[in-house]
Each structure stands twice: as C-alpha cells, then as structure tokens.
Amino acid sequence: MKRQNVRTLSLIICTFTYLLVGAAVFDALESKKEKTQKKKVYDRKQELMNTYNLSQFNFDELERVVLQLKPHKAGVQWKFAGSFYFAITVITTIGYGHAAPSTDGGKVFCMLYALLGIPLTLVMFQSLGERINTLVRYLLHRLKKCLGMRRTEVSMVNMVAIGFISCMSTLCIGALSFSYFEGWSFFHAYYYCFITLTTIGFGDYVALQKDHALQTNPKYVAFCFIYILTGLTVIGAFLNLVVLRFMTMNAEDEKRDAEQRALLSRNGQAGGHNHMRCTPDLPSSSSAASGCGGGSGNSGVGGAGRGLRNVYAEVLHFQSMCSCLWYKSREKLQYSIPMIIPRDLSTSDTYMEQGEAFSSDPLHPLHSNGCICSMHHPHSAISSVSTGLHSLTPYRLGHSKRRSSI
Amino acid sequence: MKVQNIRTLSLILCMISYLLVGAAVFDALESETESSKKKILEQKRNELKKKYGFTQDDYREIERVVLQSEPHRAGRQWKFAGSFYFAITVITTIGYGHAAPGTDSGRTFCMFYAVLGIPLTLVMFQSMGERINTLVRYLLCRLKCCMGLRWTDVSMGNMVLVGLLSCMSTLCVGAAAFSHFEGWTFFHAYYYCFITLTTIGFGDFVALQKKEALQRRIPYVAFSFMYILVGLAVIGAFLNLVVLRFLTYSTQEGTRSLEVEREEQAAVPKRPWGGKAVEEADVEASARDRFCISALCSCMCFRLCACDSPFPSRCEHSGCHSNPLFYNSISYRVDEASCSSRGTSAQSSPSSGALFLGMSNSHTRRKSV
C-alpha cells in the first residue's frame, strides 16, 4: 500500500484510540463528582421548592428566567468592546459562547464573518509565527556568537526548546494576570489561558465578565485582547515550527511518487543508463540519506533514533539521485568547461571544495559523497528538477538543498 | 523592506481592521436586541420575585441552584458516551463547554490530553484531507475521460468547486439531520453545523442534549460523532486544498530569503575564479538552463521529447493512468517550461519565477528546519 495511505490510516486509528482512551479517563475522573453534585443540587432544589411553596411549574418558570438572564449577568455583551471580544472569539475559533448572536441576522453575519475571517487569521498567525521563528533563530545565532561558542548554528532542538519555554511563560504570565484581575486561583487562571490559547474555549472560565469590566475597565480590556492575540501568535509560532511540516507530508509523498513514476516511465535505455550510474551511489547515499533524513541536531550522520526516518530519506534520496548526479557531473565539468559554469554552480563547488571552512556555517554541512544535502537548511526544495529551474529565478537559489523528509 | 515582513505587517493590519469592522457590525446587529431582552427579562424577574415574596438573598439562592443544575439538565455528561463527546470537543478544539471538567484533576488531564491530541488531530485531518483531494482528483479525471472530454486535466478551479460543493452539502445534510433530531429550525441546525465544523463551538446549540440522548439514543449518538468527524475531514480537505499553501508559503519565503542572504554572504569572498559579476547571472542562467536541460536526469529529456507528441484522446496518455496530481505538480510545469524554453531561454525564468511565487500551485511545499 502506498505510504500516504498507510500514514493516513494509522493516523485515523491513532486518533480513534486516543479518543477512546480519553473518554475512559474522563469518565473515571468526572463521573462520580457529577453524580454526587447532581444529587446535591436536586436535593437543594427540592428544599427550596418546599421552603417557598413552589410547584414544579413555578420553579420551571423561575428556572427559565434565570437561565435566560445568565448571559446578561456579566454585563452588556454587545457594545463595541463586547462585540470586539466576540469577533476575536469567532475568527480565532476560540468560541467561548459567553455571548452568542441571538438575532438571526447576527447568526448569518457571524457565519459569513467566520468564513472569511478564519482563513485570514490562520494565515496571519502562521506568517507572524514564521517571522518570529526567524527572528529568534537570528538572535540565538548572535547570542551563540557573542558567547564565543564554537558551533554557532541554531539547531532544531534549540528552537523547539525556546518555543516551548516561550509557550510556558506566556501561559504563566496570563495565569498570574488573570488570577489577579479575575480573582481565580492560579491553577484555574492557567487552565483558562491554556483553553483559550489552544482555541478550545469551553467558556467555563471567561475573562472580562466580572464587575462590568467590558465597560468600566478599558485598560484591562485592552490587556485581555492583546494577551489573547499575542498568546495565539506564540502558540502559532510553535506550531509553525513543529507541526506544520507534518501537515504537508502526504502531498509531498504524492509529488515524489508522481516524479518517480515519470522517472520510471521513460525510455528504457536512457533509464537503464541513468540507473546504472545512480545505483552505485545508493550505498554511499545511505550515510547522506541518514544525514538528510535528520531534521534536527548538529550531528552530520544519522543517529540512533533515526531508523525510520532513514527509510523515508533513503527513498527520497533515490529520487534526489538525479540532482546529486547533476552536481557530480558539474564537478567533473568544472574542470573541462570552466567558462559556462554559472555563478551558482561555482558557489556550490566552492562549498564542496572548501568544506571545512563551511562547517561553521550553520546551514551547509557536507557529506562524503559531495551531495549538498542540507538537513539543517530551512529550505524546501522538493525535486531535482524544480531545483534546477528555481535557480533560474531572480532569487538565485543555486544550491540544491535537499529537504529532509521529517 | 523584505517581502515577508511587508506581507506579515499587511496581514496584521488586515486582521485588526477585520476585527474592528466585525465588532461594529455585531454591535449594530445585537446591541439593541440585547438591551431590550434584558429589560424584559429583568421585569419578569421582578414580577416573579414579588409574586413569591423573595428577598434578594432568596432569589440569589434560587439563581445559584438553577445555574448549578443547568449542566445536569441535559442528562449525564460524563458517562462514557458523554466523555467521548467531550474528548472530541477537546482535540478538535470545538470546545462547546456544555460539559467542562469540574474536578481539578479533570482539568489537568484535559490540558495534557489537549497538548498531544490537538496536533495529532490537526495532522490527521490534513492527512485525510489530502487523501480525499487526491481521490477526488482521480475520480474527476476519470469522469472527464468517460464523458469523452478532450482535456482531462483536473484544474484547481475544478477542485475548488468540488470542495465548495462538498462543504455545502455536508452542512446541509447535517442541518437536515439535526433539525429533525433536535427539533431545531433548519436555519438553527445549519448554524450549529457551521459553528461546529469551523471548530468555533459556541455551545449555544449543542447536539445530544435533549431527552437524555447520550444514554438512550445510541444510533443517534454514533451518527453525531461520525458527522462531526467526517464533516471536519471534509472541511479539512478544503482547507488543505485552498489555505495550507498560504500557511507554508510565508515559511518558504522566509527560508528562501535566508538562503539568498547566506549565499550572498558566502559567495562573494570565496569565489575561486575571481568572481563572476552578479549582472552576468542572467547570461549564466541561460547557459545553466541549457546545461540543466541536457545534463539533468534523462527522464526529463525523455519527457521533453514526449512533450512534443500530440495528445491522443485516450486516457492512457493523459494523467489518468499515473497521477493526475502530476499534471498540477511542479514537474509538469517544469516540463512545460523546458519545452517552451528550447526556443527562448528567457521564458523559463518568468514561468519558474511565477511558479515559485505562484499561489496557484496545487502542490504544497513543506518547510524543513
């Protein structure tokens, strides 16, 4: 079966299993308390009905009124500040539900608003997240330089660590502020921040609902909005760093399959010839493949935990044979036809020649077979062919930076 | 300023204006209704207080009890079915809030559960969405073939259209079903499906809360769960088709410019042959182009030859047999570019430039860090 199908099926099974396990645990944790609380509330209700001599009908009437008044308890929800708060909860998909449109016109507009707003917000947060990651990478690089460290490249592990720390501090800062302003315990405020910034947004805890804060405390209101948007950016940056790559895995495999099919469906002789030249590279490519397969760490050749990635990378690398081949031919060509070697080629050749000088360069480690398979390089060149033609663009991306599979 | 920075800043400005406009419109739509409703309800409350002779404290007590009993009105929320429902709302980030963990240990577990579950679900839905899109593309290609169309390529427009239709039908099917089972109007049921499948999840309308459905109506419960998950897959497929490229696009841009900077830093002092001027890049590019075409994988050369042959109307020679994706993939465009560039080498630059910048590519590029 194709790899993409296997991957998709396993993910589906994984998710179902995860749901089942989660359901079982939540059942175990919450069921008992629910039962006891339900009984308690029911008993209290009966008491009240007796005390005030209320029939069930009367009580139902009261109940209706109380429940309908509930959203109004927290103050005016739809003035500009409240509407802005609501608009945030819509386009970020948090959706507390503390205020929900009651008019049909409001519902219709809400749907249309979400239709355009949600993709806009997704793209915005990822864009901003990528900028932040780039900035952090740069700052870390400079920091390492200033600290006089030998290896100043910024690895994936560094980035993930920093991302994780920033997420945790964002949550803690929010927890502190909201526990102070809303009078919640630190744990509940942390829980609120977490549920908000993951956009789950239960609505069991909602900020700006006490003491008519939306109308009377504009500074706190501004802080809340800024906190939510900034926090989502930080989380978005972390997701951009860690999760986004996995979302495009299937599409890239599909593309690679298509290219391989094209490769294999050509004329037999030419194919055979190419294969002959390619095959001897395969064994030596394993080391590069494992290096290519790695997407993290500073080590050049694949480490212990990368067995599975090697399999991926090896197949990818077979496909990338053509480009490596190309570079090898170029290397040979460079000595015979120096005039037609464009600048880009020469640069990569210098990389090959001056490998040592470049080992300190964070993004271009070399491998024994001369392939410039950069595992660190945050570049997503997909295929040899596209690489070749990309270099024709004004951006002058001469080097084939092989993208690691994972 | 760099393109990415400009883009990011404009997106931020866009979003802020979008929020301001939205807030103004919601204010205009809902504010009046809210204040009039509030007035009416408060009047009613005062009437009832007078009727039963409640003091403020009495009323407050009753209010407290009513609010506490509210989540229990809909039945047991934390038995297995209810917990499963809750788990779905957590990892899909819908988060109705109809049931929220009451114990601190429940809340803690909920947070850990979400940390692992949300990325898993995101990746799962995108993975499934991509498979769905590929299948649809294949089926559409075969359909076009069967209908005897000459041009059996599946364009992006086709895919977006099919995606839109499937999203609309998913919402309508859900609306019809839930309006029947829950007794909502079609419009409210549609609104519920929309709010659910976009994972906003207000919780003003929640399925499975009437007549103890979670315990009593198992088939309906199963239907609801399947609907939510399948609906999210359909929406996810549409997002995968349309939005994902923009999410990875800015990331590619960033890494590309990083690369360019590094290149410029590294290339200048270390050129072994005393350097070719940057201005000569174009000449070199065309030379490279020729070199590229001839020395690159012979498969591509073969493809160039095949490019010239006329397309018979049989499907085997079009994309159906291999992969329709191929024809939207970068390889195909490269072929086209290469084919056309035999005459004018300059042509491949803009096409590949357009390709690079092209937001119309149906393939997605993954960034690697």
Cβ partners under 8 Å of residue B168, min gap 6: none
* Average pLDDT value for residue range B247-258: 67
Residues B299, A322: C-beta atoms closer than 8 Å: yes
Q: Locate tokens 């076009």: which residue?
A: B144
Contacts of A332 in chain B (CB under 8 A): none
Residues B106, A258: C-beta atoms closer than 8 Å: no
What φ, ψ does residue B57 adopt, rounded to 5°? -65, -45
Q: Tell me, yes or no, if B105 comes closer than 8 A to chain A by beta carbon.
A: yes
- Residue B143 pLDDT exceeds 80: yes
Distances (CA, A) of B213 to A270, B85, B185, B209, B218: 66, 12, 19, 6, 7
Q: Tell me, yes or no, if A317 comes closer than 8 A to chain B by beta carbon.
A: no
- The answer to whether A380 and B245 are in contact (CB under 8 A) is no
* B344–chain A nearest CA distance, Å: 13
Shortest CB distance from B121 goes to which of A15, A86, A111? A15
* B358–chain A nearest CA distance, Å: 12
Percent of chain B beyond pLDDT 90? 41
Q: If DSSP codes are grouped into helix, strand and coil, which group holds residue A243?
A: coil
Q: Within the 149-208 window of chain A, which residues sit less than 8 Å (CB to CB) from chain B? A: 156, 159, 187-188, 191, 194-195, 198-204
- The answer to whether B101 and B224 are in contact (CB under 8 A) is no
- Residue B304 pLDDT exceeds 80: no
- What confidence score (pLDDT) does residue A314 get? 57
What φ, ψ does residue B154 adopt, rounded to 5°? -100, 110
Choose the weakest-confidence range: A14-18, B45-49, B219-223.
B45-49
Contacts of B191 in chain A (CB under 8 A): 107, 110-111
Domains of chain B, each with CATH number or no CATH: 78-266 (1.10.287.70)
Amino acid residing at B244: L
- Residue B301 pLDDT exceeds 50: no
- Residue A23 pLDDT exceeds 50: yes
pTM of the model: 0.71
* Structure tokens, B321: 């047999």
Looking at every residue in chain A, the average pLDDT score rounds to 75
Q: What is the ipTM of this complex?
A: 0.72
Shortest CB distance from A70 goes to which of B67, B127, B262? B67
Element (H, E) at A216: helix A213-216
Q: Within the 163-182 window of chain B, which residues sit less than 8 Å (CB to CB) from chain A? A: none
Alpha helices in chain B (DSSP H): 3-52, 56-73, 80-91, 104-146, 156-182, 186-197, 213-216, 218-242, 244-270, 281-295, 298-308, 324-328, 330-341, 348-357
* A373–chain B nearest CA distance, Å: 12
- What confidence score (pLDDT) does residue A77 get? 87
A384-395 pLDDT, tens digit per residue, is: 333 444 444 444
Chain B, nearest residue to A45 by Cα: B65
A298-337 pLDDT, tens digit per residue, is: 444 444 445 555 555 555 555 555 455 555 555 555 555 5
